Structure 1
Amino acid sequence: MYPPAQSVVLVVVDGLGAISLRSHAGHARALTGSMTKKDVAHSVFPSTTAAALTSIVTGVWPGEHGLVGYQVLDAPRDILVNQLSGWENEGIDPLTWQAAPTIFERAHANSHQSFAVGAAAYAHSGFTQATLRGAKFVPATTPRSHVETAYEIAQSHPGSLVYCYLPQVDKAGHKHGVASGEWVAALEDIDAALAARIPPGVGVLVTSDHGMIDVSSNRQVVLEEPHLEGIRHLGGEPRMLHAYLEPEADADVVTTRMRADLDGMADVISREEAVQSGVFGPVVTEASASRIGDLLVIARGAWALYDGTAADQRARGMVGQHGALTPEERNVPLVRLGAFAR
């Protein structure tokens, strides 16, 4: 149980794994100063922003809210849809594609105001409409301005819920890796922002959607046409691929071949196996199931798998990656500050 608070600020630091945070504790003293071994939560599967952020702000698993990966199949139209940036281009309705009520809508129903502090560029995106509906969007720029704005809103609106999203660590990690100076600098900026004085009566929870693992170039495997025979679409992302088969493909043949090709690098399981195992949560709706690949290719260790036939190869060469099941990707901090401090 958390101590009582007049208002609550939920800070989500995108891409900040608990293991990476602890290994860089000297660069994040404000955040880790009172962090104990118990101050850890677990991300969902796949451990990717679209799925995990949506679970944070709805309180349900991906199998229920329907954002089951970075890029998934819209089966009626037979196209892949990017769950972060493809809403407008692909004509996806945020209100029906993600139908689970948000925590902000539930707060409003109980007469509590909600606010979301983020970059102005996100204010009107489809993903924002899918995940932050019910909250008033407030733009900010730097990590410090995000946090200070969130605290000011919480103080001036008693009983409110304020969501504060910080993407800088994730961006630095993808481009440079968790072991980089750029990543450490982004962490230091966020930690400095979180060192700001918290107003009395404001409870703060700091968490993340997922962690990250560095993948060296010699472990970035490109799948060419012979590897992909029988596969119509390859969605997901390099550490967790959704493979959607051609209607005439023999699933057993494709599965056997992929398991042999990727032995030691990835686990290949069927949609049915994934659903039955509960990896997408205890409830998987019909809509969600239609977006899950016929086969899931889940990277082991520090491997990443790329579609060599795709027109867009911008993801090739990313250092920090996520989406799979390693502790580095799934263990995230859950730190209490302000009125919630132990």
Structure 2
Amino acid sequence: MLRARLESPGLMDLLGQIEASLNPTATHPPLAGVTEHLGPDRHVVLWLIDGFATRYRRHTPLMGADHVTDLETVFPSTTATAITSILTGRHPAQHGLLGWHTRLAAAERTLTVLMGQERDGEDRAATLGYRELTGRVQPDRLSDRLGCAMTCIGPEWIGGTPYNRMMNRGADFIGFEELSELPARVAAHVNATPGPHFTYVYWSELDHLGHQYGPESPEVERHLKQLDLAYTATCAQIQRPESVFLTTADHGMRTMERRLDLREHPAIQACLRHRLTGEPRAALAHVQDGRDREFLAAMHATFGDDVTVMPAADWLDHGTLGPGPAHPELRQRAGDYLLLPAEDAYLVDPPADDDGPHFRGAHGGLSAEERHIPLFLRSPAHSG
């Protein structure tokens, strides 16, 4: 059985606090170190640094001065699920996006939501436009419930993507190219915009470096030092007294040593209704009717203790995806078995026209390295 939470507080407690401060109809229990800085007149800025693991704090001493607490992200601990939770203010059980790939039962498609792509029953790929993607997801947006306007600030390339347009509908978008531009963009916007207002800032490069080089690499350490300086520069330039500058992450990262490729094991693939969905560190298997025993035997013979195979009832019914009300397709999307690779391994099942990911660092699973993230807070009204 999986526990729904390793420890408290969680990322969704932070989002609950933000919504409760800006939505007069919402309530949420207090979050120590945060609640006292929020209020209905605040300009709340949330900087999401993709892949900022808690242990990275040792490389960011300037940010460390504003450290409030460590949070635990949602499960699966991955961008597609966690950012959707942030931008909806809903737990994964409610929004139903369960990783990089999510099986849509009614449409009989496998959706790669961040890429705005899907594959049909014949494994043929198609690109979705904004309206098609919105129809597939039907998000309950946080921005629609706030009693104020919202702005999104991020790399220029994400501004027009179907996912960004879908999740931030109605919000202004401010783009930039390099991390060095972020402090001035954020500060100029905040200084010119009185509260109440919600600004969501996104940066993805740290996650890319962690995947490519590993979380303990010199490349990651160097970028963390750049982020430390960018954070300090942003704080120094924000002058609006009612602003609250929150910084956190969507997930952590851990080192990977082994790549387990399901294409090398046709006996397992033959039992599946379609390719694995979910995440390489938390894969979801949809098994053909009547082939469960064959599937379990093949998994054990192939992977032994390297992959834990957990029936849906042993994890889905215990709040691992957060509280409900559950998405109407949640059970079908979750499949029949959750596959959890060993701590140093990840499991892939890419299509014939794609070699799939090759990681030196990965996330999505249940370990502390993947789930624990820091929270930093700077408020001009309470600083110094």
Please give the TM-score of this superposition, normalised by the length of structure 2.
Answer: 0.79
Q: Structure 2 matches for 1:175-186, cutoff 5 A?
A: 175-186=212-223
Summarize deviations over 1:108-165 as a string: whole Å, max 9, x none. Answer: xx2x221000112111212113322232111111223223312221221111211110
Change (3 A) 1:189 1:309: same
Q: Which residue of 1 aligns with 2:105?
A: 75
Change (3 A) 1:165 1:308: closer
Q: Is the Cα contact below 8 Å between 1:205 and 1:340 reproduced in 2?
A: no
Q: Tell me whether 1:119 sits opposite 2:119 in the alignment.
A: no
The structural deviation recorded for 1:90 is 4.4
Q: Which moved more, 1:297-306 or 1:88-97?
A: 88-97
| Counterpart among 198, 209, 226 of residue 172 in structure 1 | 209
Give secondary structure in 2 for the equivalent of 1:194.
Answer: helix
Give secondary structure in 2 for the equivalent of 1:2.
Answer: helix
Q: Distance in 1 between matches of 2:381 and 2:279?
A: 36
Query: What code does the residue aligned with 2:62 have?
Result: A
| Counterpart among 210, 220, 229 of residue 270 in structure 2 | 229
Summarize deviations over 1:85-122 as a string: whole Å, max 9, x none. Answer: 03483437343433343222222xx2x22100011211
Query: What code does the residue aligned with 1:104 have?
Result: S
Query: What code does the residue aligned with 1:226 have?
Result: A
Query: What code does the residue aligned with 2:85 have?
Result: S
Change (3 A) 1:126 1:309: closer
Q: Structure 2 matches for 1:210-221, cutoff 5 A?
A: 210-216=251-257, 219-221=258-260
Summarize deviations over 1:161-191 as a string: whole Å, max 9, x none. Answer: 1111010100111111111111112212211
Give secondary structure in 2 for the equivalent of 1:230.
Answer: coil
Summarize deviations over 1:244-282 as a string: whole Å, max 9, x none. Answer: 223x34224323432453333222122333320111122
Query: What code does the residue aligned with 1:212 have?
Result: M
Q: Which residue of 2 aligns with 1:145?
A: 181
Percent of aligned positions with the same letter in both sequences? 27
Q: Which residue of 2 aligns with 1:273?
A: 314
Q: Distance in 1 between matches of 2:371 and 2:252?
A: 6
Q: Which moved more, 1:305-314 or 1:273-282?
A: 305-314
Q: Which residue of 2 aligns with 1:101?
A: 140
Q: Which residue of 1 aligns with 2:165?
A: 129
| Counterpart among 232, 239, 242 of residue 281 in structure 2 | 239
Change (3 A) 1:147 1:96: farther
Q: Which moved more, 1:302-311 or 1:148-157?
A: 302-311
Q: Distance in 2 between matches of 1:243 and 1:145?
A: 43
Q: Which residue of 2 aligns with 1:34?
A: 66
Q: Is the Cα contact below 8 Å between 1:63 and 1:289 reproduced in 2?
A: no
Query: What are the ranges of 5 or more consecutive residues in structure 1 without an aligned counterpart?
Result: none
Query: What are the ranges of 5 or more consecutive residues in structure 2 without an aligned counterpart?
Result: 1-34, 119-125
Give secondary structure in 2 for the equivalent of 1:187.
Answer: helix
The structural deviation recorded for 1:74 is 2.5
Equivalent pairs counted in the alignment come to: 329
Q: Which residue of 2 aligns with 1:199?
A: 239
Summarize deviations over 1:216-249 as a string: whole Å, max 9, x none. Answer: 2xx2222221233301221223211111223x34
Q: Which moved more, 1:299-308 or 1:50-59?
A: 299-308
Q: Tell me whether 1:2 sits opposite 2:36 in the alignment.
A: yes
Query: What code does the residue aligned with 2:64 have?
Result: T
Q: Is the Cα contact below 8 Å between 2:116 and 2:133 reproduced in 1?
A: no
Give secondary structure in 1 for the equivalent of 2:273.
Answer: strand
Q: Which residue of 2 aligns with 1:307?
A: 349
The structural deviation recorded for 1:195 is 0.7
Q: Distance in 1 between matches of 2:134 and 2:160?
A: 14
Give secondary structure in 2 for the equivalent of 1:301.
Answer: coil
Q: Distance in 1 between matches of 2:231 and 2:189?
A: 15
Q: Distance in 1 between matches of 2:295 and 2:105?
A: 20
Please give the TM-score of this superposition, normalised by the length of structure 1.
Answer: 0.88
Q: Which residue of 2 aligns with 1:66?
A: 96
Q: Is the Cα contact below 8 Å between 1:155 and 1:199 reproduced in 2?
A: yes
Q: Structure 2 matches for 1:82-93, cutoff 5 A?
A: 82-87=112-117, 89-91=126-128, 93=132
Q: Which moved more, 1:177-186 or 1:222-231?
A: 222-231
Give secondary structure in 2 for the equivalent of 1:336.
Answer: strand
Change (3 A) 1:10 1:237: same
Query: What code does the residue aligned with 1:326 have?
Result: S
